[in-house]
Each structure stands twice: as structure tokens, then as C-alpha cells.
Amino acid sequence: MWHKIYYLISHFTWIFGLGFLVSLGVWGTRKRTSHHKVAKREWDDAVAKKMNEPISLHPEIDPSLCGGCGACVAACPEGEIIKLLNHRAQLIEPAKCVGHGQCQAACPFDAIQLVFGTKTRGMELPKIDGNFQTNVPGMYISGELGGMGLIRNAVKQGKLAAEHATKNLRPGIAAQFDVLVIGAGPAGLSAGLVCAMKKTKYMVIEQNKFGGTIYNFPKQKVVMSYPLDLPMVGSYKFKANKVSKEELLSLWHHVRKQANLQLKEECRFVNLQKKGDLFEVETSSGTITAQKVILGMGVRGTPRKLGLPNEELAKVTYNLLDPDQYQQKWVAVVGGGNAGVECAQYLAKASLKNKVFLLVRGPSFDRCNDENQTIILDMEKKGLVQICYNTSVDAIEADHLMVKRDGKIIRLQNDFLFVFAGAIMPFAFLKSIGVQIETKYGEPVKAG
């Protein structure tokens, strides 16, 4: 009996092995084909929704270098922006890219670079060199004002700009400060910390409160961030790359205290002039002179408005600080990007008992990551929010909104209107202080 079994095994093992390998091959091919089909469907979908054309910053994949390993697909934290199609990585929904750059870091073949704009669709940006210096010698731009969003990028760029700005300072120049940093968001904080480490005479000025855009995030907002390389602190990692607004601000405040950061809040930068070797900077608290200036002002200073009569009513607002202030209200949120979708999520929490309408201009969400889309669609299923696509506000009234949906005018009861239509880039202002604005047609990101 045993030697019969042994005989069967020893003579037929190769058949079993072959069978197993063939099944594995068939399973693998089927799996690849089904992934391919999904990717193809998503690509067609993106073309139909006009999400296939990158809007601003996005990865560019060189198909001649791509080995088809898919490392980039797995690396992107925003969801399915890149997928494998015909064994090559392809951008599926580039319009969702916010510039994490994780795909670029993950690619073992150096097949990816981050670029601004495309050959056919230019993107306007202030002209800066690899050290974040503008065409005006001694004037730097770092953080979101330079075209790249995200806290981590702002911290990195503020650091690099300040490292360069603090080099070659000329002694004997009658300026109050060696370096003046404008804006106390992540870029400004990071730049200020470098200045403190280098023991330069510096000042950070901020028109509002320390913290930048993060200060205006909704209470308890979950902020997503890969490790930050904060000057003085070193690499700072958050659990699962997530941190609450409050924890992040508390870290900021701790670092500010440790570094004894020279910071003047509620001091607004108004204008500047270069006079010889120094900048004369006009602020709401008087004129400040400095050898070098780092602009870390972000882009949220001027939110894009709807341009409608009655927009100045107190019920119309452009950010959400404390969702708990709004209970049992009729609320409309304009915006299909992450900011609008997150605002609707906070306001539609069941405990608040609000009636929430999310008004999305196009037929689908716009630059909104998969996680936020899943959450809001789930809330819609539970009846917590009503998502209105192809809808825009036509008129604002004290207790109502007139909205246009697929060409039809609908009257909505309304107590509060939240508008998240992006921000106006302060290019006219930058030009007025001498900074050149250039249009990028698919040029790689220099640094950051």
C-alpha cells in the first residue's frame, strides 16, 4: 500500500506540479486582465468626466522607462490616480493629484517625475529657481504660493529657501533684519526655524494667527501628512500618517516656544520696494527693512467668490471652523473638491441634525480623493446629505438660495452657505512687486 502511494507520488509529482503552475498562470492572467479591464473602464470614465487632463501638478510617466511593476500604483495615498494599462503605468485620474510625490519616490526605474501643467495646458506660476529665489535677488517664495500644496512640501521648501537666504548675508547693511519671513504657516514656520538655528536677525510676520491655513481647518479635522522634516526637530512622523488639527497646532506651538521664534502676529504685509541692498517692507504695523525676504503667504488669502449679489451676507462663508455651531440648520456647501466635500461631511454629522446640500458644479467630484468620496457617498446613502451634481448657485436670498440644476432653477431653503471654490492666486500683486510669472508646460518640479 505505502509503496503504491510512493510510486504514484514519485511518478506523477511533475504532472501535479505542472497542473499547479498552469492554474497559477491562468489565475494570474485572469487577475491581470480583470485589473486591466477595471483600469480601462476607469480611464474611459475619466475621459468622459474630463478628469483625464491634469489641471496642475501631476506625475508624468516615461513609458520607455516603466517596467510595469506597479509600485507607483500602490504608493499613491490619494487613491487610484495611476493604474497599470497594457503592463505600463498610466495616469487614470490625474486631476486628483495633489503632489505627494510618493509614486516618484516608489518607482525603482526613475520613470516618474512631477511636472507642472501639460504641453497643451499651461499653468501660471511665479518664477523661482532651485533655491526658491525669485527673479528679484534676495526675494524667495516657498510653500503653496509657489504652486505645490501640502504641509510637508511647505515645510521642506521653507527650509530650503531659508538655508539659501541665510547664506551670503552682507555685514554692515543698515537693515533691521537679515531675513523677514512673511506668513506663519508651515512654510513660514520652517523658514523661521532655520533663521533661528543660523542665529540670524530675523522676524516672521503673520496677518492673522500663527499656524497658517491649518489654523482655519475645522475642529478635529484629520490632517494627512507623511513625515515632516522640521528644522530643529528633525523628522517627525504621525501615526498612520494622520494627525488632528489640534495635535498638529500643538506641535507647532511647542516648536515655536522651544525655538523662541521671533513672530509678530496680526501684522499684515502690504507692499515692498527694493532699495539698493535692502527691502523696505510696508506692513500694517509700519515699515520694516530686511536684506532678504521670504514670502510664505500661501494662497488662501483671497478665496474665490461666486460673484453674486448678496454674497456679503453674514450667512455666506468661505471656511468652517467649528461644525458644532451649526445645528438643525439648512446648509448648502458649494464645491466638489476635498475642502467642500469635507465641509459637507462635518456639517452632515447625524448628531447635528442639519439639512445639508452639497452643490457640485460638474457631473462628478472635482479633485476629491477616494476616501472623501467614499465617506460622502455613504452619508448620502444614509440620507445625511443630498449631493446635487451639475448644480450652481444662481441667486442668494436671506432665507433661500436659487440654484440652477441641469438648467432648471430650484429654490432651496437656506440658513448658511459655505463656498469652497478655491482661491485667487495673488499673481497681480506678485507682478507689482517685480516677480515674474511664467507659464509651465509640463516642466518638472525643481525641488521640494
Ligand X SMILES: Cc1cc2nc3c(=O)[nH]c(=O)nc-3n(C[C@H](O)[C@H](O)[C@H](O)COP(=O)(O)OP(=O)(O)OC[C@H]3O[C@@H](n4cnc5c(N)ncnc54)[C@H](O)[C@@H]3O)c2cc1C
Residues that bind ligand SF4 (CB under 6 A): 61, 66-72, 89, 106-107, 109, 111-112
Helix axes 186-197, 151-165, angle to 10 degrees: 30
Measured from the CB atom, the residue of 61 and 203 that comes closer to ligand SF4 is 61
Residues that bind ligand X (CB under 6 A): 143-145, 149-152, 154, 182-188, 205-208, 212-214, 223-225, 268-269, 296-298, 300-301, 339
Residue 89 contact among ligand X, ligand SF4, none, beta carbon within 5 to 8 Å by kind: ligand SF4
Measured from the CB atom, the residue of 107 and 150 that comes closer to ligand SF4 is 107
Measured from the CB atom, the residue of 343 and 403 that comes closer to ligand X is 343
The stretches of 226-311 forming alpha helices (DSSP H) are 245-259
Q: Which helix (H) or strand (E) holds 387?
A: strand 385-388
Measured from the CB atom, the residue of 269 and 279 that comes closer to ligand X is 269
CB of 111 to ligand SF4, least distance (A): 4
Q: How far apart are CA 157 and CA 413, in angstroms?
A: 45
CB of 59 to ligand SF4, least distance (A): 8
Residue 144 contact among ligand SF4, ligand X, none, beta carbon within 5 to 8 Å by kind: ligand X
Q: How far apart are CA 352 and CA 52, in angstroms?
A: 37
Residue 109 contact among ligand SF4, ligand X, none, beta carbon within 5 to 8 Å by kind: ligand SF4
CB of 288 to ligand X, least distance (A): 11
Measured from the CB atom, the residue of 187 and 445 that comes closer to ligand X is 187
Q: How far apart are CA 169 and CA 202, in angstroms?
A: 12
Torsion of CA 31, 32, 34, 36, to 10 degrees: 160
Task: Give the 3-state secondary structure of residue 3.
Answer: helix
CB of 245 to ligand X, least distance (A): 9
CB of 306 to ligand X, least distance (A): 17
Measured from the CB atom, the residue of 66 and 297 that comes closer to ligand X is 297
Residue 150 contact among ligand X, ligand SF4, none, beta carbon within 5 to 8 Å by kind: ligand X
Q: How far apart are CA 9 and CA 281, in angstroms?
A: 87
Return the amino acid letter for 30. R
Residue 187 contact among ligand SF4, ligand X, none, beta carbon within 5 to 8 Å by kind: ligand X
**Measuring CA to CA, how many Å separate 223 from each of 53, 368, 400?**
27, 15, 33
Give yes or no for a contact between 154 and 122, defined as CB atoms under 8 angstroms apart: no
Residue 207 contact among ligand X, ligand SF4, none, beta carbon within 5 to 8 Å by kind: ligand X
Residue 66 contact among ligand X, ligand SF4, none, beta carbon within 5 to 8 Å by kind: ligand SF4
CB of 413 to ligand SF4, least distance (A): 49
Q: How far apart are CA 177 and CA 159, in angstroms?
A: 18
Measured from the CB atom, the residue of 52 and 323 that comes closer to ligand X is 323
129-161 burial, b if ≥16 CB within 10 A, otherwise e? Answer: eebbbbebebbbbbbbbbbbbbbbbbbbbbbbb
CB of 393 to ligand X, least distance (A): 20
Measured from the CB atom, the residue of 83 and 159 that comes closer to ligand X is 159
Half-sphere exposure of 126 (CA within 13 A, CB side): 33
Residue 359 contact among ligand SF4, ligand X, none, beta carbon within 5 to 8 Å by kind: none
CB of 367 to ligand X, least distance (A): 12
Q: Which helix (H) or strand (E) holds 169?
A: none
Helix axes 186-197, 245-259, angle to 10 degrees: 20
